[in-house]
Amino acid sequence: MSHYLDHAATTPMRRCAVEALATHAGLLNPGGQYASGREARRVLEESREQIAELLGADPIEVIFTASGTEGDNIAIQGLYAASPLRRVVSTPIEHSAVRETISHLPGVESELLPLDEGGHVSELSLLDEPAALATSMWANNETGAIQPVAEIAARAAAAGTPVHIDAVQVVGKLPVDFHALGATTLAASAHKFGGPRGVGVLLARRSPAPSAVLFGGGQERGIRPGTSNVAGAAATAAALAEASAEMEAEEARLRALRERLREGILARVSDVEVHTAEPALPTHLHLSFPGAVGDSLIMLLDAAGVEASTGSACSQGVNRASHVLEAMGVSLESARGALRLTLGRTTTQADIDAVLGVLPRVVERARAAGV
């Protein structure tokens, strides 16, 4: 039996989500002006209302998308298109769904907020000058570092700048209140909290709203046209409801397991660098074993029945050194030996003990193999 410690990449679907998918898989087009269309529309709108309530938004602000990546693209491209300004402020540690999107904005003048050694945005004065938009992730997908998103939203709002928050790692794990946060748009992804892969949620205020960057039948306020995935929406609502109900208990349980993992590794392996610094998600532990290569660690762990990742972008099976660790000032040698262990709803103490059992030998072998 393998031990899955890559929940930040994706997490198994919850039974309630599988059931909602199966129950509603046969529904037809919610745009249809007849009984079967009305039935599909009812399920879609009930799912929208449930998600809105769980995330502190109005139902009309909930836009179903096909992924977190799509939500990030629609929000960033759309807010940029809606503004006469070309300046965009973000952070050096964004997911490629945000980084790549910004780099492809025509004529963009991109600026990055500074970061401290723990991987947290440390200074906000760049937000005092108006920009087309500002964007920040709520928590980093590699380290789990939680960013000061409420401060970022308030500071940008004071300059009249719309704010997009990539909350893909946070929704379902920490409480989210969209209105209290004060952001303009917020992206989430169902497969990170036990919903189906390939369904996202974009929260978008009525004003300022992102201009349309996709064109078609006008569904989802014209912001995300295309025939709706009703069963996916229902499964997402079911997963988010369950995740929200068990959030507090899970946060405490996972934090304790993560600490057991962190302390166990530090006690058993020499020369370890821990990159996850508080405030951080309870699910993440990002470390480096200088002298080893992350890819070797992953392969040796896999052979020993432990599934983990280096946490950084993977291109055709080869990992590049992480831009997140680089921005945190981690040396290249350390960044190359990075390992991300992420916990989730199905993680047990047995998983943690299994990792602690195999990791010392894995690190020894990866270090012997060299760089």
Find the Cα–Cα–Cα–Cα dihedral 126, 90, 184, 56, rounded to 10°: -110
Smallest gap from Cβ 338 to ligand PLP, in A, equals 16
Selected range binding ligand PLP among 49-57, 162-170, 268-276, 311-319, rule: CB under 6 A: 162-170
Residue 97 touches ligand PLP, criterion: CB under 6 A = yes
CB neighbour list of residue 227: distance below 8 Å, 6 or more residues apart: 29, 30, 31, 217, 219
Q: Select from 14, 41, 95, 120 the one that contacts ligand PLP (CB under 6 A).
A: 95
Q: Select from 11, 101, 135, 141 the one that contacts ligand PLP (CB under 6 A).
A: 141
Q: Where are the alpha helices (DSSP H) in 94-182?
A: 96-103, 149-158, 178-181
Give dist(CA 80, CA 101) in Å, integer: 11
Selected range binding ligand PLP among 36-44, 65-73, 283-291, 293-301, rule: CB under 6 A: 65-73
Smallest gap from Cβ 108 to ligand PLP, in A, equals 19
Residue 166 touches ligand PLP, criterion: CB under 6 A = yes
Token digits of residue 128:
């005092």
Give dist(CA 248, CA 243) in Å, integer: 9
Give dist(CA 146, CA 165) in Å, integer: 12
- Complex with ligand PLP: residue 11 or 141, whichever CB lies closer: 141
Give dist(CA 251, CA 148) in Å, integer: 19
The residue annotated as part of the active site, out of 314, 332, 368, 371, is 314
Known catalytic residue at 314: yes
What three-state secondary structure class fits 55?
A: helix
Residue 164 touches ligand PLP, criterion: CB under 6 A = no
Q: Map the footprint of ligand PLP across residues 339-358, applying CB under 6 A.
A: none
- Supply the residues annotated as catalytic: 314
Q: Which residues of this chain interact with ligand PLP, rule CB under 6 A?
A: 67-69, 72, 95, 97, 137, 141, 166, 168-169, 189, 200
